[in-house]
Amino acid sequence: MAQFNAQNLKTIGVFTSGGDAPGMNAAIRAVGRLAIHHGLDVMGIVGGYPGMLNKEFETLSQNSMANIIQRGGTILKTGRLPEFHQADVRARAVQNLREAKIDALVCIGGDGSFTGAHLLWQEHQFPIIGVPGTIDNDIAGTDLTIGFDTAVNIALDAIDRIRDTAASHDRLFIVEVMGRDSGFIAVDVGVAGGAEEVFIPENPAPVEQAIDRIRRGMARGKKSSILIAAEGHKPGRAYDLAESIRKKAGFDAKVCILGHIQRGGSPTAADRILASRLGANAVEALRRGDCDAMVGVQSGVYVTVPFTQVIGFKKRVSGDLVSLARTLAI
Ligand code: F6P
């Protein structure tokens, strides 16, 4: 674990980065309130890495973090900055942070955000701790990320509603959920929603397999079915699947794309608690002098994992759960 001299730690900066996730506000609150509890100052960086470049820094007080734990989105706003791949851009960001007297950072985001954070330590010895926040749950080194539980529950609620109308009209539906590189949301809602098939980027099911399941269901009198597709790199791919099923089997499938609905709304209790614990642990890690690492949870134990064991590593969807989704759907 990389270490810095935490004796002179006076001001912690906190920012959210990448796609927003329900529970990020609870994490900001935990970082801010625990830092204040320990007598530290806290600065919010507005808009993620772009905010660092534009010097969008604001002091966070006990009051500015009131009434946010239940709110979706992020009060600090978020953004992506492809220019952060350039060393001179990173150098300017560090200069701005030092001018603002920020001594260390907490970055709430995903793999891409942590890559930038890791480089700030490597190139400028600027200490940062990462807090995993993305609805996709695709970050290595932690079993759970902030926002995943809420996104799954939002998608599940939608699927339950779709099942009502699918059953009333004897229809086949394909519901597309988020997940750029991973099928964590798709698999969880597939099992919890009783879907007939789950299409995920990691383990793509052939369309014929879904058609076979639908046919077997029909043979025993089943008249409606729901298939779940993770969007993968092409949001809207559910339309391609519907077209392929129509061409191969003549079934007419309705498509429902849940999209960004899954990223909004009030976080579940599980996400608020996860975010509060991870945010607090991030501050404790900095106080110990730990940096260049992410706080996470593994098998119920809260851990600190070096970024070198997180960034670029692929967390696998549970093969057992994928098999179970398919077995139970028969
Ligand atoms: O935050 C993760 C995620 O929601 C992915 O599931 C999705 O593919 C992507 O972000 C969409 O990103 P945006 O619309 O913000 O560019």
Please report the pLDDT score of residue 326 as a whole number.
Answer: 84
**Residue 113 CB contacts under 8 Å (≥ 6 apart), including other chains:** 17, 18, 48, 49, 107, 130
Look at ligand 1, atom 10, and give the residue with the nearest C-alpha. 19
* Average pLDDT in the chain: 96
Round to whole Å and give the CA distance between 262 and 231.
Answer: 12
Which atom of ligand 1 lies closest to the CA of 180? 8
Choose the weakest-confidence range: 43-47, 235-239, 292-296: 235-239
Q: With bands split at pLDDT 50, 70 and 90, how would you rate the model's confidence at 202?
A: confident
Which tokens belong to 49? 């890495």
Q: Considering only CA atoms, which of 14, 39, 40 is closest in space to residue 133?
A: 14
Out of 20, 111, 136, 149, which one is annotated catalytic? Answer: 136
Ligand 1 pocket check: which of 263, 315, 317 to mutate, most ligand atoms within 8 Å of Cβ?
263
What's the average model confidence in pLDDT over 189-216? 91
What's the average model confidence in pLDDT over 113-139? 97
Q: Tokens 């730990």 label which residue?
A: 290
Round to whole Å and give the CA distance between 31 and 36.
Answer: 9
Please report the pLDDT score of residue 327 as a whole number.
Answer: 87
Please report the pLDDT score of residue 156 as a whole number.
Answer: 98
The answer to whether 11 and 42 are in contact (CB under 8 A) is yes
pLDDT of 330 over the 80 cut: no
Look at ligand 1, atom 9, and give the residue with the nearest C-alpha. 180
What's the average model confidence in pLDDT over 251-275? 97
pLDDT of 249 over the 90 cut: yes
The answer to whether 133 and 21 are in contact (CB under 8 A) is yes
Please report the pLDDT score of residue 140 as a whole number.
Answer: 98
Q: Considering only CA atoms, which of 214, 228, 210 is closest in space to residue 155?
A: 228
pLDDT of 28 over the 90 cut: yes
H-state helical runs in the chain: 24-37, 49-53, 87-99, 111-124, 148-169, 184-192, 207-219, 237-249, 269-288, 319-329
Q: Considering only CA atoms, which of 306, 15, 22, 322 is closest in space to residue 140?
A: 306
What's the average model confidence in pLDDT over 29-34? 98
What's the average model confidence in pLDDT over 184-200? 95
Which atom of ligand 1 lies closest to the CA of 178? 6
Q: With bands split at pLDDT 50, 70 and 90, how would you rate the model's confidence at 9?
A: very high
pLDDT of 233 over the 90 cut: no
Ligand 1: which residues within 6 Å by Cβ?
19, 134-136, 178-180, 231, 263
Find the angle CA(10)-CA(14)-CA(16) to the nearest 5 degrees: 175
Which domains, from first to last, does the chain contain?
2-147+267-309 (3.40.50.450), 150-264 (3.40.50.460)
Reply yes or no on whether 170 is catalytic: no
Look at ligand 1, atom 12, and give the residue with the nearest C-alpha. 19
H-state helical runs in 5-86: 24-37, 49-53
pLDDT of 11 over the 80 cut: yes
Phi, psi values for residue 105, rounded to 5°:
-125, 150
Round to whole Å and give the CA distance between 24 and 17.
Answer: 10
Please report the pLDDT score of residue 298 as a whole number.
Answer: 98
Please report the pLDDT score of residue 234 as a whole number.
Answer: 85
Choose the weakest-confidence range: 150-154, 164-168, 323-327: 323-327
